[in-house]
Chain A
Amino acid sequence: MSKPLKHQQAAMLSYQEIISTLEMLKNEHLDVRTVTLGINLFDCASHDLGTLQTRIRDKIGRIAEALVPVCDQIGDKYGIPIVNKRIAVSPIAVVCAPLGPDGMVAIARTLDACAREMNVDFIGGFSALVEKGIAAGDRSLIAALPEALAETERVCASVNVASTKAGINMDAVLLMGRAIKAAAERTAGRDGLACAKLCVFANIPQDVPFMAGAYLGVGEPDSVINVGVSGPGVVKKAVERALAGHPDLDLGQLSDLIKRTACKVTRVGELIGREVAELLKIRFGVVDLSLAPTPNVGDSVGEIFQSLGLLAIGVPGTTAALALLNDAVKKGGAFASSHVGGLSGAFIPVSEDLNISDAAAAGHLSLEKLEAITSVCSVGLDMVALPGDTSAETLSAIIADEMAIGVINKKTTATRLIPVPGKKAGERAHFGGLLGESVIMAVNNGAGPNAFIRLGGLIPAPIQSLTN
């Protein structure tokens, strides 16, 4: 037989393959959630604020200039939208270590201006890593957080206060509780919006493409492209279709189905991310294959629980279902890509997911249940609106609990808590856009003092950390 012609060499696509891909795009909200360009700023170091600002602006401008146009071009080529383009920089507490809090605020404004010029919706990396102790630059950044986050639109901040290797820095936890409270007060007119751009982490990954936790870690290259895919709607529809066709499927088979679906979604991210990186002549980093919801109907993680047969997220069975979901997503994604990183699992952001915020409003989902399920999912207490009278100490205590889960279980956990000034449990908070809106959740002994938290110090690293 003679050699096949070019168009025959790639085997012909089947009708089913084409239609199922189109269905995912049209009806199931398959998209590339974010392409995040990491830019290392360590070579911008200077004692002088003006020099720092100029160098940072020049470097970001030079490297990120083509990001948005290239993403749009590749999105058109494949018919899959790249919904968000973002930038993540090296931890500012290190880059700008010589500055005081005022200098840090000025740098935040510089970053905000860069984000606007480059037309990206968020710039992450206004960050500090303080799991073992707080250095001068870290202290300045943390002190600057309330003003920096209130005065800027697009800057995202993250502070790593704990790790399995180091333990939990309870002094930092207390500082963060106070910073969150202050940031909320400064944005009281917008339901504490500043807090929606601040995450407190245990075991923060160096290459998360999603906000607000994105920053460029120390061992990373000078610039890198990391991709975040998403597709909770795709997973939900796959489960629904399968159960409609075969009602006798068991959880093992459903887990396999979710795994295969996650694999497809991750392949999209890999293909598109690599091509964006190639066109920009920047290294490709990782695909983060998290199921990240948006407030749009049908783009919800909460709905996946319902398709699995739970009344709503939060009822008994939720933790087991999430364990299955998170694991299946990781396995599917791991097979699809050689470079998987970031968080890679299921997100449970209360306000960003319409279904989850409804479940909270209906009383199915409490703060305590949320905390329990963070032991098996990738993120933590994300976009949780709390009563305005929650004390800084209680906020710190909630953070401490979440950090403990991460540290002991050798996983990443985080909190993005928003005490909404002037509002009480049961009322609604409105953050707008992708940040959504949700009911305010009740906190046990929320307004009260907490002498335990005031003790401070370092909760030592657990024995699990002795792996050498």
Chain B
Amino acid sequence: MTKVIISVLGKDRPGIVAAVSRVLFERDCNIENVSQTILQTEFAGIFIAGMPAGVTAENLHQGLTAGLADFKMYVQVKPLAENGSPAPPPVAEPFVITTSGPDAKGLVARITAVIARYQVNVTNLQAVFKGGSEPGDNIMIYEVDVPTHIDQQRFRQDLQDQAAALGLRLTIQHRDIFSAMNRI
């Protein structure tokens, strides 16, 4: 089975996932993994599927476009790179970074630039932006994997410096404290 990665984007309404999975089923494709989210009014879904011999990414794309015609979705299908097993990720600890403060252009870009500089990977991102300068109202939550080999003190300091320059309050804490407090 060749694997493909399918992205579906468009206005959210009931029936999208059903339409996608029906098309895949009809072509004897197996859904291996899926992630789906709704941002404001838009649906975004990523599907990893295995195609049987005889089905190509091209004709899967045609089938999906036809099957989703009523929904007016943007669909992309591309083969999943088959270059052996990827390099194992570095040993890392999960942390949660939050920023809160007035909304400003470049906020996410500047913070994520620091994060990227230290080879820290963002695994999940949530935002609640209500706009304006009510400090509590604009909160960004970055769940990150921090490799254990980096200079943690400098990383924290650079984050705090960048946050201060942007007029934000920043916290960085190991993920376990959130799970300990909120999960049985």
**A and B are interacting partners:** yes
A76 to B156, CA, bound (A): 10
- Assess whether A1 is interfacial by the CB under 8 Å rule: yes
Binary contact readout A66-90 vs B (1 if CB under 8 angstroms, 0 otherwise): 0000000000111110000000000
Which residue from chain A places its CB closest to the CB of B50 in the assembled complex? Answer: A2
* CB closest chain-A residue, reference B89: A6
Contacting residue for A18 out of B48, B98, B156, B176, CB 8 A = B98
Residues of A within 8 A of B145 (CB): 6-7
* Segment at the interface with B among A9-17, A102-110, A173-181, A416-424: A9-17
Which residue of chain B is the closest to A17 with respect to CB atoms?
B182
Given A7-B145, A79-B172 in contact, is the A21-B124 Cβ separation under 8 Å?
Answer: no
Q: Give B residues with C-beta under 8 Å from A.
A: 31-33, 48, 89, 94, 96, 98, 123-124, 126, 128, 139, 141, 143, 145, 156, 171-182
CA distance in complex: A79, B182 (Å): 16
Distance in angstroms from A257 CB to nearest chain B CB is 15
Contact between chains at A79 and B33 (CB < 8 Å): no
A22–B98 contact, CB under 8 A? Answer: yes
Q: In the bound complex, how far is the Cα of B143 from the Cα of A320, in angstroms?
A: 44
Q: Are B177 and A80 in contact (CB under 8 A)?
A: yes
Complexed CA–CA distance, A12 and B139 (Å): 17
Determine whether the beta carbon of B179 is less than 8 Å from that of A270: no
Q: Does A271 contact B180, Cβ atoms closer than 8 Å?
A: yes
A17–B178 touching, CB < 8 Å? yes
Residues in A neighbouring B141, C-beta threshold 8 A: 13, 15, 18
Ordered by A's residue number, 8 sampled pairs between the chains whose C-beta atoms are within 8 Å are A1-B31, A2-B48, A13-B175, A13-B179, A15-B128, A19-B139, A21-B177, A79-B177
Set of chain B residues within 8 Å of A1, measured between Cβ atoms: 31-33
Q: Name A264's contact: one of B89, B171, B175, B181 (CB within 8 Å).
A: B181
Output the least CB separation between B173 and chain A (Å): 3
Judging by beta carbons under 8 Å apart, are B176 and A15 in contact? Answer: no
Q: How far is the CB of A343 from chain B (nearest CB, A)?
A: 22
Closest CB in chain A relative to B10 CB, distance in Å: 23
B127 → chain A closest CB, angstroms: 9
With A2-B32, A264-B181 as contacts: A78 and B96 at CB distance below 8 Å: no
Query: CB within 8 A of B143: which of A7, A19, A77, A264?
Result: A7
Q: Is A268 an interface residue (CB 8 A)?
A: yes
Whether A55 sits at the interface, judged by CB under 8 Å, is no
Q: Which residues of A contact B33 (CB under 8 A)?
A: 1-2
Contact across chains for B179 and A10 when beta carbons are under 8 A apart: yes
Question: Chain B interface secondary structure, helix, strand, loop or mixed?
Answer: strand
Bound complex: CA of A76 vs CA of B171, how far in Å?
10
Q: Is the CB of A268 within 8 A of B139?
A: no
A residues with a Cβ closer than 8 A to B are: 1-2, 6-7, 10, 12-13, 15, 17-22, 25, 76-80, 264, 267-268, 270-271
Complex contacts, B123 vs chain A, CB 8 Å: 7
Contact A21 B182 (CB under 8 A): yes
Nearest B residue to A10, CB-CB: B179
* Interchain CB contact under 8 A, B179 and A79: no
Most buried by A among B31, B32, B176, B181: B181
Whether B94 lies near A268 (C-beta < 8 A) is no
Add 12 more A-B contacts to A22-B171, A79-B171 (CB < 8 A): A1-B33, A10-B179, A13-B178, A15-B141, A18-B178, A21-B178, A22-B98, A76-B156, A78-B174, A79-B172, A80-B177, A271-B180
Q: Which of B32, B48, B173 has the most CB of A within 10 A?
A: B173
- Would you call A268 and B32 a contact (CB within 8 A)? no
Inter-subunit contact A13/B32 (CB<8 Å):
no
Residues of B within 8 A of A267 (CB): 180-181
Of the candidates B98, B139, B180, the one having the most CB atoms from chain A within 10 angstroms of its own CB is: B180
CA gap between A271 and B181 in the complex, in Å: 9
The answer on a CB contact under 8 Å between A264 and B139 is no
B94 touches A10 (CB 8 A): yes
| Cβ-closest chain B residue relative to A4 | B33
| Residues in B whose Cβ lies below 8 Å from that of A76 | 156
A19 to B180, CA, bound (A): 14
Residues of A contacting B89 with CB < 8 Å?
Answer: 6
A10 to chain B: which residues have CB within 8 Å? 94, 175, 179
Cα of A271 to Cα of B177 in the assembled complex, Å: 7
A7 to B143, CA, bound (A): 9
B96 touches A13 (CB 8 A): yes
- Closest beta carbon of chain A to B44's beta carbon, Å: 16
Per the bound structure, the CA–CA distance linking A268 and B173 in Å amounts to 13
Select B94's contact among A2, A7, A78, beta carbons within 8 Å: A7
* Nearest CB on A from B46, distance (A): 13
For the complex of A and B, list the 4 residue pairs with the smallest distance between their C-beta atoms, beginning with the closest.
A79-B173, A7-B123, A17-B182, A78-B177
Instruction: Report the minimal beta-carbon distance from B84 to chain A, rounded to whole angstroms.
Output: 16
